[in-house]
Amino acid sequence: MSNDAPLGGGPADSVPTDRAPTDRAPTDRARAGRAHARRAPDTFVNGPSPIAVTVDVVLLTLRSGQLCVLVTQRDSPPFQDGWALPGGFVRVDEDLDASARRQLTEGTGVAASGHLEQLRTYGRPDRDPRARVVSVAYLALLPNLPPPPGTDRDGPTARWWPVEDLGSADGPVLAFDHPTIVADGVERARSKLEYTPLAAAFCEEPFTLAELRRVYEAAWGAPLDPPNFRRKVLSTPGFVVPVGARAAPRGGGRPAELYRRGSATALHPPLLRRSV
């Protein structure tokens, strides 16, 4: 550290002490308002501006063949009764990745395991009507979770929503710029299936190749040829490794071989969806 740039003079107790972003606490009263009144004048041109930093998480999973996103219900304005991504303020000594895992665990009870990657940062000045908030969005991928998280709490309700329903009339009303964030997250997941072994993050280990294939089919909305898919996956070193056992047969059909995630981080060549 150094003296170069003197940190501001304000004492610690003069900084904002307001409530969390994922405020669903009953004490959440509206003190917010007047965000613009707090916005910095030109005196901040050469120094830091009062901008809050939050993390929002797009958690995707596969539920009965559908790609679903986890959202929590809001209980206060703005967007009261609407749905929002799990998220909240970043603590001053907390790494961004760690904050994302914490938001998931604290806000929804979802285990913080599984794939987590930074998605993108959203910072339009008007994205939150109350204040200037910059949000670092994360993308999390998990296998289907036995209990739909959060539904048994009396606090804010969490639920899975199929991503297909997001634009439609019977879909949820997403708060803030969360429609954009979710859309970006879904598109990131879809395209990363092409050139990374990420599809396995949706599968509980050990998994069959059919389960892995259904991830692609759900994400891309198109069927894949099972024989060709099998060859493709097995010919990519480190995509999956055989576990040496077979799945328990269920309801007819030959039992499938079991695999777990391999060590590969990229697919060469990629497994391209036939789009354009």
Partner DNA sequence: ACAAAAGTGTTAATTGTACACCCATGA
Partner DNA sequence: TCATGGGTGTACAATTAACACTTTTGT
CA-wise closest residue to 236 among 203, 180, 197: 197
Sequence-distant (6+) residues with CB within 8 A of 155 are: 24
**Residues 200-239 contacting a copy of itself, CB under 8 A:** none
* Interface region with DNA, contact rule CB under 7 A, candidates 33-41, 76-84, 120-128, 247-255: 247-255
> What are the start-end ranges of the H helices in 137-208?
178-195
* Interface region with DNA, contact rule CB under 7 A, candidates 69-77, 169-177, 195-203, 250-258: 250-258
256 counts as binding DNA under rule CB under 7 A? yes
**Residues 65-124 contacting DNA, CB under 7 A:** none
Count the residues of the shown chain that bind DNA, applying the rule CB under 7 A.
Answer: 23
* Interface region with DNA, contact rule CB under 7 A, candidates 65-73, 107-115, 172-180, 254-262: 254-262
Residue number, 73 or 236, with CB nearest to DNA? 236
The sign of the torsion formed by the CA atoms of 98, 123, 189, 164 equals: positive
- Near a copy of itself by CB under 8 A: residue from 7, 64, 169, 235: 7
Cα 65 to Cα 18, 24, 111, 255: the distances in Å are 41, 31, 22, 20
How far apart, in whole angstroms, are the C-alpha atoms of residue 102 and residue 104? 5
- Near DNA by CB under 7 A: residue from 116, 139, 163, 209: 209
Residue number, 74 or 261, with CB nearest to a copy of itself? 74
How far apart, in whole angstroms, are the C-alpha atoms of residue 243 and residue 255? 14
Residue number, 92 or 248, with CB nearest to a copy of itself? 92
How far apart, in whole angstroms, are the C-alpha atoms of residue 240 and residue 119? 25
Residue 50 interface partner, choices DNA, a copy of itself, none, CB cut-off 5-8 Å depending on type: a copy of itself
Residue number, 50 or 237, with CB nearest to DNA? 237
Strand partners, 140: 59, 116
How far apart, in whole angstroms, are the C-alpha atoms of residue 63 and residue 144? 6
- Near DNA by CB under 7 A: residue from 131, 210, 243, 264: 210
Residue number, 168 or 235, with CB nearest to DNA? 235
3-state secondary structure 125-148: CCCCCCCCEEEEEEEEECCCCCCC
CA-wise closest residue to 243 among 203, 197, 208: 208
Residue number, 5 or 276, with CB nearest to DNA? 276
Residue number, 169 or 248, with CB nearest to DNA? 248
- Near a copy of itself by CB under 8 A: residue from 60, 67, 88, 258: 88
**Interaction pattern, residues 216-235, with DNA; x per rule: CB under 7 A:** ---------xxxx-xxx---
- Cβ neighbours of 181 (radius 10 Å): 26
Angle (CA) 73 74 79, round 5°: 120
27 counts as binding a copy of itself under rule CB under 8 A? yes
Residue 65 interface partner, choices DNA, a copy of itself, none, CB cut-off 5-8 Å depending on type: none
Tokens of 235: 């010919």
Q: Which residues bind DNA (CB under 7 A)?
A: 208-210, 225-228, 230-232, 246, 249-257, 269, 272, 274
